[in-house]
Structure 1
Amino acid sequence: MRNNLHSRKINFVQDFLRIQNEAVIRRFEDMLRQEQLKLAEADLSYPMSLEELNTVIDQAEKDDRNGRLTNADDLKKEIDNWE
């Protein structure tokens, strides 16, 4: 089943790349944004359990202790250098 989905995505992308009509591409872009928003909203509608929250907090504290965090100022500087 997974291979079938992968093949379908490849076929879709190939078909999409052949589209020459800007209005059609714009409709696909709009549809994609709408679907991404729906998925994001669905993720927010299912709050994590207390156990999941504690796991996330524990991981964040471990990342902090091991120097795997980036402060906001450094992140802004890094983003400014993106091209």
Structure 2
Amino acid sequence: MNLEARKLEFIQEFLKLQNEEVVSRLENLLRKEKNVSDLRTFEPMTQEELDKRMDQSESDFENNRFKSSSELLAKYD
């Protein structure tokens, strides 16, 4: 059985579920697996990219293009 057929069979079985707890557990499992998958595809930035970001940040700060933490916190109060 190929992957597409397995996924379709899983979806059909999932749609038959009547137990909310089982659905919640499957949702949690899917989220966890997605997070693990995302971590596997994570690519750290290169030293050059990091240096460029730091230069841009320093330039922004020197040219007063930033918000203080109190300004950011006030936005969400």
TM-score grouping bracket, smaller chain normalisation: 0.5 to 0.7
For residues 33 and 25 of structure 2, the distance between their equivalents in structure 1, rounded to whole angstroms, comes to 12
- TM-score normalised by the chain length of structure 2: 0.54
- TM-score normalised by the chain length of structure 1: 0.50
Matched residue, 1:14: 12
Larger RCO: Structure 1 or Structure 2 (Cα < 8 Å, ≥ 6 residues apart)? 2
Structure 1, unpaired ranges of 5+: 54-83
Deviation at 1:4, TM superposition (A): 1.3
Which of 21, 41, 44 is the aligned partner of 1:43? 41
Fraction of identical pairs, as percent: 40
For residues 7 and 15 of structure 1, the distance between their equivalents in structure 2, rounded to whole angstroms, comes to 12
CA-to-aligned-CA distance 1:54-83 (integer Å, 9 cap, x gap) = xxxxxxxxxxxxxxxxxxxxxxxxxxxxxx
Which protein is bigger by CA-based radius of gyration?
2
Q: Secondary structure at the match of 1:20?
A: coil
Structure 2, unpaired ranges of 5+: 50-77
Instruction: Quote the RMSD (CA, aligned, Å).
Output: 2.1
Runs of 4 or more, structure 1, over 6 Å off, are none
Bigger fraction of residues in helix: 1
Deviation at 1:10, TM superposition (A): 0.5
CA-to-aligned-CA distance 1:16-59 (integer Å, 9 cap, x gap) = 00000000000000000000000111111x4478xxx9xxxxxx
